[in-house]
Amino acid sequence: MPQGFKYNRLVKDDAACLLVDHQSGLISLVQDFSPGEFKNNVLALAACAQYFKLPTILTTSFEAGPNGPLVPELRPMFPDAPYIARPGNINAWDNEDFVNAVKQTGRKQLIIAGVVTEVCVAFPALSAIEAGYDVFVVTDASGTFNEVTRHAAWARMAAAGVQLMNWFGVACELHRDWRNDIEGLGALFSNYIPNYRNLITSYEARK
């Protein structure tokens, strides 16, 4: 056990969200989630970023080519977010504009998700750790070819100190206490967790 372990937990005012290469072409490569689950998870993470008002950065890789444009739902959710259409760098962290945008958030905790996990997520995650950031990868909003490539990517990132999360864990760790806003968090869960919506439906019916 690491001595003197410090629970480095997500803090609303110290976290930024990086959405990397959620492009219409690249997403068709993802096969470790069903397409419906994956879309839901990506939009749920985006909704968290929006709800918690996290500085958010959008970036794409070579979007004029077969990789395709950013999925159309994301941009309108973050109209003021930096949008870095990388002309060629595969690792977003190799792009100066991207790194500058990250710096300008002034945040130390980076929540990262993207497509595909072992490249578009793992590369900037490892670079960011090296640069001294705390990195939280949202595993269920990051997709890849299959479970083998996913597990290898996770192992590489975990070995570097990346914290592996899911969007629901991110939301809960940021929110801290239901009393901060019961309705807002309930709406978030209701929109992206069908069984939670069912709980609410049953609950409301009997109040």
Binders in 4-23 for its own copies, by CB under 8 A: 5-9
17, 48, 120, 172: the active-site residue: 120
Task: Determine the Cα–Cα distance for residues 5 and 12; give it in Å rounded to an integer.
Answer: 21
Reduce the DSSP state of residue 85 to 3 states and report it: strand
If the CB atoms of residues 107 and 175 are measured against its own copies, the closer one turns out to be 175
Q: Is 196 in the site for its own copies (CB under 8 A)?
A: yes
Q: Which two tokens stand for residue 131?
A: 């640069």
Tell me the torsion sign for CA atoms 57, 132, 9, 165: positive
Scanning residues 148 to 177, which ones bind its own copies (CB under 8 A)?
A: 148-149, 151-156, 158-161, 163-166, 168-169, 172-173, 175-177
Q: Is 60 in the site for its own copies (CB under 8 A)?
A: no
Give me the 61-80 binding string for its own copies, x by CB under 8 A, dash otherwise: xx--xxxxx-xx--------
If the CB atoms of residues 69 and 106 are measured against its own copies, the closer one turns out to be 69
Task: Determine the Cα–Cα distance for residues 164 and 54; give it in Å rounded to an integer.
Answer: 19
Q: Is 28 in the site for its own copies (CB under 8 A)?
A: yes
Scanning residues 75 to 104, which ones bind its own copies (CB under 8 A)?
A: 87-91, 94
Size of the site for its own copies (CB under 8 A): 91
What is the closest distance, in whole angstroms, from the C-beta atom of residue 49 to its own copies in the complex? 18
Q: Give yes or no for a contact between 125 and 162, defined as CB atoms under 8 angstroms apart.
A: yes
Q: Which two tokens stand for residue 183?
A: 């309705």
Q: Is 24 in the site for its own copies (CB under 8 A)?
A: yes
Reduce the DSSP state of residue 201 to 3 states and report it: helix
The closest alpha carbon to 106, from 207, 205, 14, 206, belongs to 14
**What distances in angstroms separate CA 164 from CA 76, 136, 182, 199, one per listed residue?**
27, 6, 26, 28
Please confirm, yes or no, whether 48 is among the known catalytic residues.
no
Reduce the DSSP state of residue 30 to 3 states and report it: coil
The span of 47-55, 77-85, 103-111, 119-127 binding its own copies (CB under 8 A) equals 119-127
- Residue identified by tokens 């110290």 is 14
Q: Is 123 in the site for its own copies (CB under 8 A)?
A: yes
Scanning residues 129 to 148, which ones bind its own copies (CB under 8 A)?
A: 129-130, 139-140, 145-146, 148
Catalytic sites, residue numbers? 120
